[in-house]
């Protein structure tokens, strides 16, 4: 197995550290980033994106740095590392992890699906997206039933979106309890607007999973997924309204409610590894009329060299 990389870059250092950590056997082929060796024809033949790093094992070629450590963990492909039994998650840890999915934002959920797909690829299979079902309190050794995948988010007419909101909302209520008094002793109290309602035994007030959240009192939940996809694609409010089949003021309101919801999802404390990278910006001589080291330009521009230079 060969790793074409330049450890001076963050992505390459991440892969090298991960492979060394799991004890994977590989040959490091140095590709100088600052002399643009990644743009050489022989490297372009391996990686048409001209990006670093690149992992090669026989006919298997991988360009994504985040996927390389996941692939290396698989003993089935032959990269060594921990055995499947050692890295398997026990049932209790899996249920705990599953319960935390409700707190993920839309970008975090997309990233989680990508990680799951890459992990499934490492074992030579195809990932299946299960439908949300009522699991109940079965035996500890029961395996979850295999179900078909839900429709993609770009289909706003699918009723699975409403079910997803209700399911995720139920997990939120189980985690934080009553939004009025923070009491955990709550019970189901009917259903309204496709969402289950709850009643707090302490303050005796009723609520649903979206009470006191930026998404409260918003309608047409089956179209929220299409609005989210439009925001991710970066289209205008008018085009987002056309996609969802709503008035542009509704799309504008949804946009700001969704952004407010994401802004509130910030951790109070940070743990783990922190990585930094470099950003090179052209030096500006705006307002200077003499003694300039280069010819003046109207605005903007692109550097002729990569990385640090006299520009």
How far apart CA 243 and CA 26 sit, in angstroms, is: 48
pLDDT of residue 75: 38
For residues 65 and 9, is the Cβ–Cβ distance under 8 A?
no
pLDDT of residue 137: 38
More confident position, 284 or 139: 284
For residues 212 and 218, is the Cβ–Cβ distance under 8 A?
no
Pure H helices in the chain:
10-22, 41-44, 65-72, 84-87, 91-99, 106-122, 160-176, 224-233, 237-244, 248-263
pLDDT of residue 84: 38
pLDDT of residue 203: 92
pLDDT of residue 79: 41
More confident position, 285 or 148: 285
CA distances from 184 to 5, 101, 187, 199, 258 (A): 52, 19, 9, 11, 26
pTM: 0.36
Rounded average pLDDT over 80-94: 48
pLDDT band at 125 (very low <50, low <70, confident <90, very high): very low
Give 205-211's long-range contacts (Cβ < 8 A, gap of 24+): 205/178, 205/180, 205/181, 207/178, 207/179, 207/180, 208/169, 209/165, 209/166, 209/168, 209/169, 209/170, 209/172, 209/173, 210/165, 210/169, 211/179, 211/180
Rounded average pLDDT over 249-272: 82
More confident position, 196 or 115: 196
More confident position, 31 or 105: 31
CA 109 to chain centre: 5
**What pLDDT digit, counting tens, does each position of 238-253 carry?**
999 998 899 989 999 9
CA distances from 154 to 142, 243, 257 (A): 33, 9, 19
Rounded average pLDDT over 53-73: 78
- The values of phi and psi at residue 216, to 5°, are -65, 140
pLDDT of residue 73: 56
Rounded average pLDDT over 36-51: 89
pLDDT of residue 89: 55
When mean pLDDT is compared across 112-116, 121-125, 201-205, the lowest value belongs to: 121-125
Task: Name, of 3-17, 91-105, 148-162, the range with top average pLDDT.
Answer: 3-17
- DSSP, res 222: G
Omega of the bond prior to 262 within 30 degrees of 0, cis?
A: no
**What pLDDT digit, counting tens, does each position of 130-176 carry?**
443 443 434 444 444 444 444 343 343 344 455 677 777 778 788 88
> How far apart, in Å, do the first and last CA atoms of the chain sit?
39
Task: Name, of 96-100, 131-135, 181-185, the range with top average pLDDT.
Answer: 181-185
pLDDT band at 80 (very low <50, low <70, confident <90, very high): very low
Give the residue from 194, 189, 153 showing the smallest Cα distance to 173: 189
pLDDT at residue 88 above 70?
no
How far apart CA 47 and CA 42 sit, in angstroms, is: 9
Q: What percent of the chain has pLDDT over 90?
A: 7
CA distances from 100 to 3, 105, 127, 229 (A): 35, 11, 20, 23
Please report the domains of the chain, with CATH numbers, ordered by start residue. Answer: 2-87 (3.40.30.10)
């Amino acid at each position: 197995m060969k790793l074409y990389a330049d450890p001076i870059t963050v992505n390459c250092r991440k892969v090298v550290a991960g492979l060394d950590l799991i004890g994977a056997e590989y040959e490091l082929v140095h590709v100088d980033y600052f002399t643009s060796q990644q743009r050489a024809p022989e490297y372009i033949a391996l990686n048409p994106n001209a990006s670093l790093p690149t992992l090669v094992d026989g006919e298997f070629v991988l360009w994504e740095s985040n996927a390389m450590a996941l692939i290396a963990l698989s003993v089935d492909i032959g990269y060594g590392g921990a055995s499947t039994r050692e890295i398997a998650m026990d049932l209790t840890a899996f249920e705990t992890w599953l319960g935390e999915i409700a707190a993920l934002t839309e970008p975090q959920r997309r990233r989680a699906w990508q990680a799951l797909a890459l992990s499934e690829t490492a074992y030579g299979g195809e990932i299946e997206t299960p439908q949300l079902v009522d699991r109940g309190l079965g035996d500890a050794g029961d395996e979850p039933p295999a179900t078909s995948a839900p429709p993609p988010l770009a289909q706003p007419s699918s009723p699975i979106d409403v079910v997803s909101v209700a399911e995720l909302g139920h997990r939120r209520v189980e985690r934080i309890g009553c939004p009025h008094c923070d009491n955990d002793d709550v019970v189901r109290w009917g259903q309204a607007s496709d969402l289950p309602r709850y009643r707090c035994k302490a303050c005796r007030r009723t609520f649903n999973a979206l009470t006191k959240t930026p998404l409260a009192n918003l309608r047409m939940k089956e179209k929220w997924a299409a609005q989210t996809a439009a925001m991710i694609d970066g289209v205008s409010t008018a085009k987002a309204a056309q996609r969802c089949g709503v008035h542009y003021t509704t799309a504008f309101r949804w946009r700001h409610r969704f952004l407010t919801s994401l802004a509130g999802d910030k951790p109070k404390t940070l743990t783990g590894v922190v990585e930094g990278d470099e950003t090179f910006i052209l030096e500006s001589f705006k307002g200077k009329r003499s003694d300039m080291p280069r010819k003046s330009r109207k605005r903007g521009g692109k550097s002729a060299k990569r990385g640090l230079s006299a520009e």
